Amino acid sequence: MTVLPVHAIELKGAGSSAAAPLYRIWGEAYSKTNSNTLSYEPSGSSSGIKKIKESSVDFGASDVALPQADLKKFKLIQFPSAISGVVVIVNLPGIRSGDLHLNGDVIAKIFSGQIEDWNDPAIAALNPGVKLPSKTIQPFVRQDGSGTTYNFTDYLSKISKTWQTTFGKNFTINWNSKFTQVKGSSSISAAVRKTPYAISYIDYNYVVQDKLEVAQIQNHDGRYVMPSAEGFSAALAASSWKTQGTFEEMLTDKSGPKSWPITMGTFIITQQAAKNVETATATLKFFTWAFMNGDRFVNNVDFVRLPDALQARVFKEMTTVTDTAGKPLNWSLQ
């Protein structure tokens, strides 16, 4: 049996900027229970994946699940930590948050540069009675490798064949040269807040914390919905996550009258054969604590906790971590 370290350890994580508030609040609360601390770098999902593959961090964080082939090749495991969603945000003087209605086709045309004005007939058709400004749309997009971008473009690829053919889904996109590109969710939030007639996409927790203005989006069932924890939970319920534990399945464009159309999971990726037993054990112990005690913090940063059945699957994944000799690690909280 592997003996737990008695000295303080600084756990190092990197990746998803969307999930950074969650891991930081978990880390702050956990450090009050013992001497270990967490240092988290919100460098974007693709960066987090790269760093864990290189073993330069104790865990990577991504808003997109790695395929099984990659997990096997790099000897990694992954598990979801929480559920959230991508939200279209706007800065439209004179129009209240939620009054603007958009569907996937119009969103795709805006972010491909086909629709350039707020009073375009396609937008006006979705918003009878709303006085749309005769102003040029100012799109802000992510420059860095982003899981938020991946989920957003996965949704657009499902809705628009033109988008799928031209841009597809990815962590980075060859954006229109007229668009302003920035790094990280915090920069997106700041840019939209200070720029009239702006539009972008961002993670739900930033919407709540920064009081951003949002658009209602038409979901798979044709209903216009506001982003909410209820909508994310409805999309999760319409997936096979609960029944089969297939974490690789995207949660975008799920059926159900309440489902938020751009729901996403956020994931932790760690080494399956730990090169450093002390830090790997401490990492597993941290996430064990988080799932057992950290649910209230999930709600505090506007994420949706994993259902109990999914958490059970997560613990099962965590028990597969071994040292390089194949011996299971001891990460019990007792």
Least Cα distance to 16 among 146, 140, 141 occurs for 146
Give the end of a domain, one of 263, 289, 306. 263
Confidence at residue 244, expressed as pLDDT on a 0 to 100 scale: 76
CATH of the domain at 205: 3.40.190.10
Confidence at residue 190, expressed as pLDDT on a 0 to 100 scale: 98
- Tokens 């409805």 -> residue: 234
Strands 76-91 and 198-203: antiparallel
Confidence at residue 1, expressed as pLDDT on a 0 to 100 scale: 43
- In this prediction, residue 242 has a pLDDT band, given cuts at 50, 70 and 90, of confident
Do 197 and 89 have their domain in common?
Answer: yes
- As a whole number of angstroms, the distance between CA 21 and CA 227 comes to 18
- As a whole number of angstroms, the distance between CA 242 and CA 259 comes to 16
- 3-state class (DSSP) for residue 129: coil
The number of distinct structural domains making up the chain is 2
Partners of residue 274 on adjacent β-strands:
323
Confidence at residue 3, expressed as pLDDT on a 0 to 100 scale: 46
> Within a domain: residue 148?
yes
Residue 331 burial (10 A CB sphere; 0-12, 13-18, 19+): buried
Confidence at residue 2, expressed as pLDDT on a 0 to 100 scale: 46
Provide φ and ψ at 49, rounded to 5°: -65, -45
Provide φ and ψ at 299, rounded to 5°: -65, -35
The domain of 148 spans 85-263
290-333 residue pLDDT tens: 998 888 889 888 898 888 888 888 888 899 999 999 999 977 75
Do 119 and 249 have their domain in common?
Answer: yes
Do 188 and 139 have their domain in common?
Answer: yes
Confidence at residue 240, expressed as pLDDT on a 0 to 100 scale: 87
**Is residue 103 within 8 Å of residue 125, measured between CB atoms?**
no
Query: What mean pLDDT is reported for the chain?
Result: 93
Confidence at residue 232, expressed as pLDDT on a 0 to 100 scale: 95
> Within a domain: residue 2?
no
**Is residue 225 within 8 Å of residue 258, measured between CB atoms?**
yes
> Within a domain: residue 289?
yes
Residue 228 burial (10 A CB sphere; 0-12, 13-18, 19+): middle
Where b means 16+ CB within 10 Å and e means fewer, 239-269 reads bebeeebebbebbbbbebebbbbbbbbbbbb
Do 109 and 179 have their domain in common?
Answer: yes
The pLDDT of residue 220 is above 60: yes
Do 312 and 187 have their domain in common?
Answer: no
The pLDDT of residue 177 is above 60: yes
> Within a domain: residue 97?
yes
Give this prediction's pTM: 0.91
Do 173 and 296 have their domain in common?
Answer: no
Do 176 and 285 have their domain in common?
Answer: no
- In this prediction, residue 6 has a pLDDT band, given cuts at 50, 70 and 90, of low
> Within a domain: residue 5?
no
- 3-state class (DSSP) for residue 239: coil
Give the end of a domain, one of 234, 263, 292. 263
